[in-house]
Amino acid sequence: MPVMASRKNLWHPGRLVMHLQALVYPLFIISAVVHAGDLVDRVIASVNNSVITLKRLETRTAELSQTLAKPKNPSTDRVPPMAAIRRRALDDLIDEELILQKAKNYLRKEAAERYAQRSVDEQLSELQNRLGKEEFEALLAKDNQNLDELKATMVADRTHLILVQQARQSWVDEYLLNPVSQAQVDKYLEEHPGSAEEGGAPEAQFIFFRIPPGTEPAGIEAIRSKAEKILSRARIGESFDELVSQYSQHQQSKDRGGILDLVNRTSPYPEFAPLFDLESGQVYPQVIAIEGWFCIARVKSKQSLYNLVRRKIALEQQAKALADMRKEAVIVLDRDLFPATEP
């Protein structure tokens, strides 16, 4: 392993990152951006022939820390200590490297890079418009940021996440090709009785319209009015996929064609419960309001209990295969950062 740098050089997010996070909160948190002036980068782990750098680890740790800072149930859930968050970030990065190594022969890297570049340009442009050019440049200067380097870091991180998502889904699709009998489904439901309650969850597409924090009532009504106009276009049959691509401001679901996973009638949002009563292809007739967003929804397809269980079985098979890959992989950690852990 390379010579270790002092721990005082570990990165911390700057003011610009916080504005970027605020821009998309609460449904999606952008990857933290490297504060290059405060970080001496180095390799802190290797996974077969791939490496994980301190920069990537601290970026992912900052993301996780931000996500876990507000537990779903503050009375029972506790924010993990930073060492545990950093270890979880490392485990996620190791798994992603293994997944990418498995899928390296069929990943569409150039397409992912083009999409990442476009989405990062849109996001930074929106931030600059929101803050104003002078404040935006002042934040860059305060955080010792160079705009080109900032963009390059964000594009690389976004590209990585898109490729990991592609690779995960392709791997799950491999398992979905395997036949699953009704007897296997019945056995799974017997062993996991809670799964039956999830049957019939629709695959839903969304077009999200962001309500920035502090927006005045007149501004909120303007956003709602825009959403209602797009809803009218969707209801008369205009391509929902194209409307998602053109108008949705929620990057995470937009990357998936507008798909946001629904677990049950109350999760992720109880406001989405009426979608469970729609048929495939139906657009919900009203604009839905949730905290920080207006949205338009369409049920792309209904998910039968059989297909739900098939997918759960495929995901379990993938998780087991990934665990086996970790056992076989050559993983070397920086023992200065992780002195008492094993891969």
CATH of the domain at 227: 3.10.50.40
Kindly state whether residues 153 and 204 are assigned to the same domain: no
**Count of residues for the chain?**
343
Report whether 249 contacts 212 (CB < 8 A).
no
Report whether 107 contacts 166 (CB < 8 A).
yes
Kindly state whether residues 220 and 102 are assigned to the same domain: no
> Model's pTM, two decimal places?
0.65
Kindly state whether residues 83 and 226 are assigned to the same domain: no
The Cα-based distances of 68 to 23, 72, 80, 263, 267 in angstroms read 18, 9, 8, 20, 18
Residue 183 covered by a domain:
no
Burial of 145 (0-12, 13-18, 19+ CB in 10 A): buried
For the beta carbon of residue 197, count every other beta carbon within 10 angstroms: 12
Kindly state whether residues 239 and 171 are assigned to the same domain: no
Kindly state whether residues 22 and 169 are assigned to the same domain: yes
- In three-state secondary structure terms, 283 is strand
Residue 32 covered by a domain:
yes
How many helices (H) and strands (E) the chain has is answered by 11, 7
Does residue 12 carry a pLDDT above 50?
no
Q: Can you tell me which residue has the tokens 């293994």?
A: 98
> Sign (positive/negative) of CA torsion 66, 70, 73, 76?
positive
pLDDT band at 3 (very low <50, low <70, confident <90, very high): very low
Indicate the number of domains in the chain.
2
pLDDT at 210: 93
pLDDT at 219: 92
Pairing state between β 202-210 and 259-260: antiparallel
pLDDT digits (tens, 9 = 90+) for 295-313: 999 999 877 778 788 888 9
Kindly state whether residues 23 and 159 are assigned to the same domain: yes
CATH of the domain at 103: 1.10.4030.10
Main-chain phi, psi angles of 202, to 5 degrees: -80, 155
Domain with 35, as residue range(s), is 7-175+324-333
Burial of 110 (0-12, 13-18, 19+ CB in 10 A): exposed
Kindly state whether residues 171 and 231 are assigned to the same domain: no
pLDDT digits (tens, 9 = 90+) for 70-86: 666 666 778 888 889 99
Kindly state whether residues 297 and 242 are assigned to the same domain: yes
Kindly state whether residues 204 and 63 are assigned to the same domain: no
Q: Please, which residues have CB within 8 angstroms of residue 188's CB and are 6 or more apart in sequence?
A: 195, 309, 312, 313
Report whether 47 contacts 56 (CB < 8 A).
no
For the beta carbon of residue 150, count every other beta carbon within 10 angstroms: 20
Q: In this structure, which amino acid lies at residue 76?
A: T
Residue 285 covered by a domain:
yes
CA distance 114 to 313: 34
CA distance 249 to 246: 9
Q: Which two tokens stand for residue 118?
A: 């476009």
Residue 130 covered by a domain:
yes
Kindly state whether residues 220 and 281 are assigned to the same domain: yes
CA distance 282 to 301: 9
pLDDT digits (tens, 9 = 90+) for 94-149: 999 999 999 887 788 888 888 888 888 888 888 888 888 888 888 878 767 788 88
Residue 188 covered by a domain:
no
